[in-house]
Amino acid sequence: MGRAAGSQDFVRAAMRAPYLEREEEHELAVQWREAKDQAALHRLTQAHMRLVIAIAARFRNFGLPMSDMIQEGHVGLLEAAARFEPEREVRFSTYATWWIRASIQDYILRNWSIVRGGTSSSQKALFFNLRRLRARLSQSADPRPRQLIFAEIASAVGVSKNDVEVMDSRLSGPDTSLNAPLGEADGGTSDRQDFLVDSVPLPDETVSDTIDTERRMEWLRSALTVLNERELRIVSERRLQDDGATLESLGESLGISKERVRQIENRALEKLRTALLRENPDRATFI
């Protein structure tokens, strides 16, 4: 109650602040820019708080506290005052409008959803214009399919149709907690997170795969001992590297034809298969 009353008093005080004539506004801006006159800054910003309130009111449908949006708009107003160049002969309100709106929009993007979105300029434009564009297109005398409306919005904003669909789904409902109960069928003991599927292997599967991999590598190292030096080089460079060497490159380095390399490779693989089968038939599947 106290916070609401304080916010109302702040708004009333801002609305009562006197307007500034162009010459007075310019003089205050110069005093702040050149002498860092805090009193001049206060008068300049106080006279434009009604602008902050008016801009914040445009975003009231996003469901965030009006008082917080006004505070964020005030931050943008101060930023505008810090960057304003009086010598350009532009009204301060014209310059400050962009900074106030940008500050409020950034606040909305940070707090409207726990899922961060709209980081690019096109995504921000989509976030803040989707409802308006969708309503305008839906009110057409000739009703159009939903997908066609999404395509027109995507073209107008400069994003993909998929981006429009994703943003529309985000704006269609609030965030849902993973700890929210699914229903009363089981007494309310099951949460949404209980039904999320984890694609990561179970710990016992990870350990089993590690052990199997180590065992297979040991089998392979043992079998490789039956190869001579040239056979081992060909198999190693052709089969045991991520980017296997070509027959041509091995032939050039060994001084033989690529067909001879192929013959030696086939003979080496057969020797490896025989060595593995001699120890355990299953090991031949690794060749």
16 in the same domain as 107: yes
129 in the same domain as 106: no
Please indicate, yes or no, if residue 192 is contained in any of the structural domains.
no
Digit-coded pLDDT (tens) for 75-119: 999 999 999 998 888 899 999 999 999 899 888 877 765 445 555
CATH code assigned at 70: 1.20.120.1810
Instruction: Using the 3D structure, point to which of 83, 111, 139 is the last residue of a domain.
Output: 111
Instruction: Using the 3D structure, point to which of 88, 111, 134 is the last residue of a domain.
Output: 111
Q: Which domain holds residue 271?
A: 203-286
Long-range contacts at 58-63 (CB < 8 A, ≥ 24 apart): 59/104, 59/105, 59/108, 61/131, 62/108, 62/112, 63/112
Look at the chain and report how many structural domains it folds into: 3
Confidence of residue 52 (pLDDT cuts 50, 70, 90): very high
* 32 residue type, one letter: W
Please indicate, yes or no, if residue 188 is contained in any of the structural domains.
no
52 in the same domain as 140: no
Please indicate, yes or no, if residue 176 is contained in any of the structural domains.
no
| Positive or negative: CA dihedral 73, 77, 83, 85 | positive
- Residue 121 has a pLDDT of 67
Please indicate, yes or no, if residue 5 is contained in any of the structural domains.
no
240 in the same domain as 258: yes
Q: Across residues 33-51, what is the average pLDDT?
A: 91
Digit-coded pLDDT (tens) for 141-197: 566 676 777 777 777 777 777 777 766 666 655 555 556 666 655 555 666 666 666
CATH code assigned at 248: 1.10.10.10
142 in the same domain as 104: no
Name the average pLDDT for the chain: 78
157 in the same domain as 215: no
- Residue 75 has a pLDDT of 93
Q: Across residues 222-246, what is the average pLDDT?
A: 85
Cα separation of the two ends of the chain: 77
Please indicate, yes or no, if residue 257 is contained in any of the structural domains.
yes
Q: Which two structure tokens, joined as six digits, stand for 168?
A: 């529309």
Please indicate, yes or no, if residue 116 is contained in any of the structural domains.
no
